[in-house]
Structure 1
Amino acid sequence: MMADIFLDPFTHFEFMRRALIACLALALGSGPVGVFLVLRRMSLVGDALSHAIMPGAAAGFLIAGLSLPAMSLGGFVAGLCVALLSGIVTRLTRQREDASFAAFYLMSLAAGVLIVSMRGSNVDLMHVLFGTILAVDDLSLLLVAGIASVSTLLFSLIYRPLVVECFDPGFLRSVHGRGSVYHMAFLVIVVLNLVAGFQALGTLMAVGLMMLPAAASRFWAREVWSLGLLSIALAFLSGYAGLVISFRHNLPSGPAIVLFAGAIYVFSFVFGSNGGLIGALLPRRHLQA
């Protein structure tokens, strides 16, 4: 009976298997990205970039229809432009990076909505905003798997400098003097994973699978490597559980996945062993930190 509930959707329906594989690839790529966004106090930057890719994705959608290469390329270019422009403003003026990201992502989001509204329909806009993971095809799977592979390779190359920059950016600048290079490389990885996620979950929800598992893992793990592994596991669990819930109760799959990830975050916030609410309220032993 339990097997029927949790396994039947994937044994009997190919589109469910494709969606599950897509969730696994998204978890592998987005999990470590979300952890570093949390550690670098850039959680809202991820949300800003997820909105920033919208005009490029919308332009690709209107030019070539449901062409994954066109939408992905447009989204990547738009997100990268916002990242570059925000970095330029931050370095040439006194404005903080979060403020410049907010300004450019708001303009990008408005431009994306305007593009679709002028030349598309409400159905087109809903597709770009919310995606549909149950419609993932072979090309989409190849794209998501390829981006996850590229992200893993890039992380392996810049992992140590990123960790150092998270905790002591001054030391990294004194030793290497290339902190901005690693920062921009990290933003490129963020944009790549958001491009992979928007086709399945849409631009408004792609960041959810990236940030919620990473934020939840902070309540259970302490080391950077364990945070990354736990974030990947929680992201995949959210994808699997969200697909099952959406299938059994005829609900939209993308919101179900993100809301399940949100439920994991709330559970972790309350019961987490590393700074959870209950642990913080319980009396500690004498002289225990």
Structure 2
Amino acid sequence: MSLYELVVEPFVSYGFMRRALIGCVALSLGSVPLGVLLIIRRMSLMGDAMAHAILPGAAVAFLFAGLSLWTMTIGGVVAGLTVALLAGLVSRMTPLREDASFAAFYLISLGLGVLLVSTRGSNVDIMHVLFGTVLALDDGSILLIAIVTSLTINVLAIIYRLLVAECFNPDFLRNVGGAGRAVHLVFLTLVVLNLVSGFQALGTLMVVGIMMLPAAAARFWSETIPGQFIVGVVIGIGSSLAGLLVSYHAHLPSSPAIILGAGTAYAISVLVGPRGSFLSQALHLPHLQR
């Protein structure tokens, strides 16, 4: 089998492969930078919690409108933002930390969402919601992902400095009169929007993988935030391409293949990345550790 037949022909011959790749590229451009910021803020598990928080809203929309893209999107956004606000409220009014609040709401949301879908849908519908159907992306799904990605990139460009300052020193913005809480809320909104648009392709259980795994891998290749953005996006796109090709040639489910591709990139980064990997520490390369 030639390189063309192995890599290029599937995307030339089949429209569903092209749409899947376009959707995954757009997802990587929008969600991976958010994953980098989540890691810097030590809120990595919040992405997983928020991915499950959207499930009840999407499930309620499914009960009324079936697998309707825009109805499930609205339901997911409402549910995700509601959980984010409730978790923040609980953490501010009780001794419970924000990550613990998100964990509690995540478990409740997951159980409630699966229960709601199962009351009307079949096992196929539950699998669709949880694991996605990236090879079935239509023009509407790609349009939604593209809109959310464009919004994310532009908003991040506007609030980048405030967001970085809030990441490293949340008290600074409050002390100088800045809108720290507003920036945090905008950031959470972007996370929810990307998770909601992504779950149409990868499902609620998988979408957080494309957000967090490339971002975690990027930490081993660059020390700057913009550098981690670039490396993470490249890893996300490469993982998507590799996962789609493996699923096509080996007849495997596409969403898990994409996430396992990102997981492989993360494992390689942990082992041989130039910054803090097992190899760099074993070789004692201080000039790469700065």
Shorter-chain TM-score: which interval? over 0.9
Task: Give the aligned partner of residue 277 of structure 2.
Answer: 276
Deviations 1:14-45 (A, max 9, x none): 01000010011101111111110011001000
Task: Give the aligned partner of residue 133 of structure 2.
Answer: 132
Q: Does 2:185 align with 1:184? A: yes
Deviations 1:138-164 (A, max 9, x none): 000100000000111111121101111
Task: Give the aligned partner of residue 252 of structure 2.
Answer: 251
Name the CA distance, whole Å, in 1 between partners of 2:11 and 2:112: 39
Task: Give the aligned partner of residue 44 of structure 1.
Answer: 45
Q: CA offset at residue 62 of structure 1?
A: 2.2
Which moves more between the two structures, 11-20 or 111-120? 111-120
Distance 1:127 1:281, change over 3 A: same
Deviations 1:149-182 (A, max 9, x none): 0111111121101111122222222123421111
Over the matched positions of the two proteins, sequence identity in percent amounts to: 56
Task: Give the aligned partner of residue 215 of structure 2.
Answer: 214
Name the CA distance, whole Å, in 2 between partners of 1:150 and 1:16: 25
Name the CA distance, whole Å, in 2 between partners of 1:13 and 1:121: 29
Name the CA distance, whole Å, in 2 between partners of 1:56 and 1:183: 22
Distance 1:80 1:280, change over 3 A: same
Task: Give the aligned partner of residue 8 of structure 1.
Answer: 9
Name the CA distance, whole Å, in 1 between partners of 2:32 and 2:241: 15
Letter of the structure 2 residue corresponding to residue 210 of structure 1:
M
Task: Give the aligned partner of residue 160 of structure 1.
Answer: 161
Name the CA distance, whole Å, in 1 between partners of 2:246 and 2:265: 15
Which moves more between the two structures, 277-286 or 122-131? 277-286
Letter of the structure 2 residue corresponding to residue 256 of structure 1:
A
Counting only pairs closer than 5 Å after superposition, residues 94-133 of structure 1 correspond to structure 2 as 94-133=95-134
Letter of the structure 2 residue corresponding to residue 266 of structure 1:
A
Secondary structure of residue in 2 paired with 1:66: coil
Q: Does 2:118 align with 1:85? A: no
Q: CA offset at residue 68 of structure 1?
A: 0.2
Alignment RMSD: 1.3
Distance 1:285 1:125, change over 3 A: closer
TM-score, scaled relative to structure 2: 0.97
Secondary structure of residue in 1 paired with 2:204: coil
Which moves more between the two structures, 21-30 or 168-177? 168-177
Name the CA distance, whole Å, in 1 between partners of 2:20 and 2:189: 25
Name the CA distance, whole Å, in 2 between partners of 1:183 and 1:195: 18
Task: Give the aligned partner of residue 26 of structure 2.
Answer: 25
How many residues were matched structurally?
288
Q: CA offset at residue 79 of structure 1?
A: 0.6
Which moves more between the two structures, 115-124 or 250-259? 115-124
Name the CA distance, whole Å, in 2 between partners of 1:158 and 1:285: 34
Letter of the structure 2 residue corresponding to residue 193 of structure 1:
N
- Any unmatched runs of 5+ in structure 2? none
Secondary structure of residue in 1 paired with 2:205: coil
Letter of the structure 2 residue corresponding to residue 202 of structure 1:
G
Q: CA offset at residue 285 of structure 1?
A: 6.6
Name the CA distance, whole Å, in 2 between partners of 1:267 and 1:206: 21
Deviations 1:239-274 (A, max 9, x none): 111000000000000000000000000000000101
Name the CA distance, whole Å, in 2 between partners of 1:75 and 1:116: 13
Name the CA distance, whole Å, in 2 between partners of 1:98 and 1:61: 29
Which moves more between the two structures, 91-100 or 203-212? 91-100
Name the CA distance, whole Å, in 2 between partners of 1:20 and 1:13: 11
Name the CA distance, whole Å, in 1 between partners of 2:245 and 2:197: 22
Name the CA distance, whole Å, in 2 between partners of 1:93 and 1:272: 41
Name the CA distance, whole Å, in 1 between partners of 2:187 and 2:82: 14
